[in-house]
Structure 1
Amino acid sequence: MFPVVARIFALLSGTVLLLLGVGLLNTLLVLRGAHEGFSDGVLGLMGSSYFVGFLLGTLLGPGLIRRMGHIRAFAFFTAAVTVSVLAHLIWIDPIAWIVLRVIAGAAVVGLYIVIESWLSTHAGAALRGRVFAVYMVCNLGALAAAQQLLAIDSPAGYLLFAISAAFVCLAAMPVSATRLTPPTPADGTRMALRGCFRTAPVAVLAGVLSGLAMGAFWSLGAVWVGRLGADATVAADFMTATILGGVALQWPIGHFSDGNDRRRTLMVVALLTALAALALLVAGARYWPLMGAAFAFGGVAFSLYPIAVAHLVDHLHTDEILGGNAALLLFHGAGAAIGPMLAGAAMARFGPAALPLHFMLMTLLLSALAFWHTRRRDDVIVDAPAIFVPMVRTSPGAMDMMSAEQAAHAPTPHPHTS
């Protein structure tokens, strides 16, 4: 395993540098927007526009990469993100920022596709799952560390924007200098969205509803803390604690889901997420209760989407996994694009309490729907039970690594009824 990680170290270091810059920017923008007097509704639209960019990049990025090649595409997307970061200081205007968020979202997912398809090619079939786990640790670790960069300076200044742009530019250096052979761009495998829903409706519902909740979290979590009266440092600690909760609890929750009906697991985890959101509401601006509630919320909320992925894979044949996961990613992305807009409008109308209430509504609805489906029919696995793979939102490129992991661990096919 170590020789493989050493061989792909340039790609992993590029990932860390990229997410230090992007993770800092995503939290910085909502804090700076609040400082500039942008309403919660506008901040929600900014968050939605970022995930709209994610959807556009998911659809258009592979074609651009096939046209340019991986290294030139990485440089192209890096330049787009860097320019968008710095342009926020030139045009401090809500409409301009919404457009820039679309551009940044599309470019960031393009960078994800480049890195993840490259990792998938050079990991080797037998080690793709473990490489994916290392990649997710780098991903979440960088996102958590990026929040602490907010302590360097006030969001009202220019320095944090410069630091964000510098990290994104630095990400291009190890990737451009690597001696790894770029993969041959290939056409993606697709599954019809309607077919995905017919195959595993609970997985699709979980993908959409978790996207509605987590898109709002990524876009408005920091500004929610600010609306409670806390400063940017507390907002950064809140985001870090939530991410660390996701790192710590995804594995045990996922291991539990591997031995049980995943619909019931989704029902329970969604209910726990609603309770954790209630804890956020009760904690308010009190530091340690808020950090504890954030850790618990991240631990359960971050598990919803990967459980949905595993539940979908339970109902797919091996050759359908990649296309099915790409379809589920689109459902999740659509939810993430709508969630910030809904939550931002609710915060503008009802105040900061609307955000944790939004989390509660989405997850209680998911829990109820999952319970209803468990009463309708048994959960019959198609080939063999899937294995849980911790993840955050990603690109179709990562699905190749995950599908290889599922195939490698598949035992002799057998039906399972719960």
Structure 2
Amino acid sequence: MVSVVARILALLSGTVLLLLGVGLLNTLLVLRGAYEGFSDDTLGLMGSSYFAGFLVGTLAVPHLIRRMGHIRAFAFFTAALTAAVLGHLMRIDATVWIVLRVVAGAAIVGLYIVIESWLSSHAGDQLRGRVFAIYMVCNLGALAAAQQLLAIDAPSGYLLFVIAAALVCVAAMPVSATRLAPPEVPAEGRMSLRGCYRKAPVAVVAGVLSGLAMGAFWSLGAVYVRRLGAGETVAADFMTAAILGGVALQWPIGHFSDGSDRRRALVLVALLTTAAAAAMLLVGAGYWPLLAAAFAFGGVAFSLYPIAVAHLIDHLRTEEILSGNATLLLFHGGGAAVGPMIAGALMAHLGPMALPLHFMVMTLLLAGIAFWHTRRRDDVIVDEPAVFVPMVRTSQGALDMMASAEQAAGATTETHTN
């Protein structure tokens, strides 16, 4: 395992540097937008544009990578993302920023796909699950650390934009210098939207509603804290606490979901997410109570999509796992693209408390639908029960690693049982 990690260290280093820059940029933009006087519905539209770019990139980028090759594609998307980062400084205009967010979302998907397909091809079948776990730790760890870079300078200046652009540029260095042979990008297969819903309607509903909630969180969480009257440092700590909660609690929640009807697990986790969002309403701008509420929210909310993935896998044959998960990724991405727009409009009319209310509505709706399905019919697993794999939404490039991780965990469970 050590030799495998050493071999892919350049790719992991590139991932960390890239996500330090992207994580910093995503929070920085909403804080700078608020400073410039952008309304909450405009900030929400910016967030939706980013996830719309993400969705477009998921559909269109693999063709470009097959045409260019991995290293040239990585350089291409790095240049596009760097230009988008610096473009925000060239013209402070909401319409321009919305366009740049679409470009950034598509470029980031391209970078994810390059790194993840490379990791998957060089991890080996036996170790792919462990590599996926390490990759997810690097992913979430970098996003959490990126929030603390906001303490370097005020969002009203230019330095943080330069730092974000520099981190993205530097991320290309270890990837470009790697000696690993670039893999082929396989032709993508997707299950039809209707077919995916028929296989596991609760998984699809959970994918969409978790996207509606988490898209709004990533796009407007820092704005919510600022609208409460707290400073940029508190906003950064709020985002960090939520991410760390997701890191800490996904494993125990996943273990619980593996031992029960996955729909009932979704009901419970959705209700806990509702309670954590309600806690945000109650604590207001108090520093430690707000961070505690954020930690609790991240811990449960980050688990909704992975549980939905595991529930879908419960209802798929082995050969359907990748195509089914690719379709679920589109459902989740569509929700993430719409969620910030809805939440931003609500915040513009109702104030900052509309954001946790948005979370509560989405998760209560999820809990209600999942509970209705538990009463309607038994949950029939097609082949073998899936095993929960902690993850965050990145690109389809991670699905192969995730599927291997799930299968490896299932094989281990079966061995221990026997």
TM-score range, shorter chain: over 0.9
Identity across the alignment (%)? 78
* Aligned equivalent of 1:235: 235
* Aligned equivalent of 1:48: 48
Q: Deviations over 1:211-255 (max 9, x none)?
A: 000000000000000000001000000000000000000000001
The CA distance in 2 between the partners of 1:240 and 1:154, in whole Å, is 18
Alignment of 1:378-397 (within 5 A): 378-397=378-397
The CA distance in 1 between the partners of 2:289 and 2:144, in whole Å, is 19
* Aligned equivalent of 1:69: 69
* Aligned equivalent of 2:13: 13
Alignment of 1:182-193 (within 5 A): 182-193=182-193
* Aligned equivalent of 1:107: 107
The CA distance in 2 between the partners of 1:91 and 1:412, in whole Å, is 54
Alignment of 1:30-179 (within 5 A): 30-179=30-179
TM-score in terms of structure 1 length: 0.98
Q: Secondary structure at the match of 1:126?
A: coil
Which amino acid in 2 is paired with 1:378?
Answer: D
How many residues are aligned here? 414
The CA distance in 2 between the partners of 1:186 and 1:390, in whole Å, is 24
The CA distance in 2 between the partners of 1:344 and 1:15, in whole Å, is 30
* Aligned equivalent of 1:374: 374
The CA distance in 2 between the partners of 1:220 and 1:41, in whole Å, is 10
Root-mean-square deviation (Å): 1.2
Cα distance, 1:176 vs. partner?
A: 0.1
**In 2, are the aligned partners of 1:316 and 1:382 still within 8 Å (CA)?**
yes
The gaps in structure 1 that reach 5 residues or longer are none
Cα distance, 1:411 vs. partner?
A: 5.2
**In 2, are the aligned partners of 1:318 and 1:407 still within 8 Å (CA)?**
no
Which amino acid in 2 is paired with 1:42?
Answer: T
1:226 partnered with 2:207? no
Which amino acid in 2 is paired with 1:7?
Answer: R
Q: Secondary structure at the match of 1:66?
A: helix
1:342 partnered with 2:342? yes
The CA distance in 2 between the partners of 1:250 and 1:413, in whole Å, is 18
Q: Secondary structure at the match of 1:187?
A: coil
TM-score in terms of structure 2 length: 0.98
Q: Secondary structure at the match of 2:277?
A: helix
The CA distance in 2 between the partners of 1:391 and 1:413, in whole Å, is 19
Q: Secondary structure at the match of 2:302?
A: helix
Cα distance, 1:406 vs. partner?
A: 2.7
* Aligned equivalent of 1:401: 401
**In 2, are the aligned partners of 1:384 and 1:411 still within 8 Å (CA)?**
no
* Aligned equivalent of 2:212: 212
Structure 1 residue runs of 4+, over 6 Å off?
none
Which amino acid in 2 is paired with 1:15?
Answer: T
Cα distance, 1:403 vs. partner?
A: 1.3
**In 2, are the aligned partners of 1:383 and 1:413 still within 8 Å (CA)?**
no
The gaps in structure 2 that reach 5 residues or longer are none
Which amino acid in 1 is paired with 2:204?
Answer: V
Which amino acid in 2 is paired with 1:101?
Answer: R
* Aligned equivalent of 2:201: 201
Structure 1's 190 and 9: CA in aligned 2 closer, same or farther, altered over 3 A? same
1:296 partnered with 2:296? yes
Structure 1's 265 and 89: CA in aligned 2 closer, same or farther, altered over 3 A? same
1:254 partnered with 2:257? no
* Aligned equivalent of 2:306: 306
The CA distance in 1 between the partners of 2:203 and 2:408, in whole Å, is 22
The CA distance in 2 between the partners of 1:356 and 1:413, in whole Å, is 38
The CA distance in 1 between the partners of 2:155 and 2:210, in whole Å, is 29
Structure 1's 412 and 237: CA in aligned 2 closer, same or farther, altered over 3 A? closer
* Aligned equivalent of 1:363: 363
**In 2, are the aligned partners of 1:47 and 1:219 still within 8 Å (CA)?**
yes
Cα distance, 1:188 vs. partner?
A: 1.1
Q: Secondary structure at the match of 2:50?
A: helix
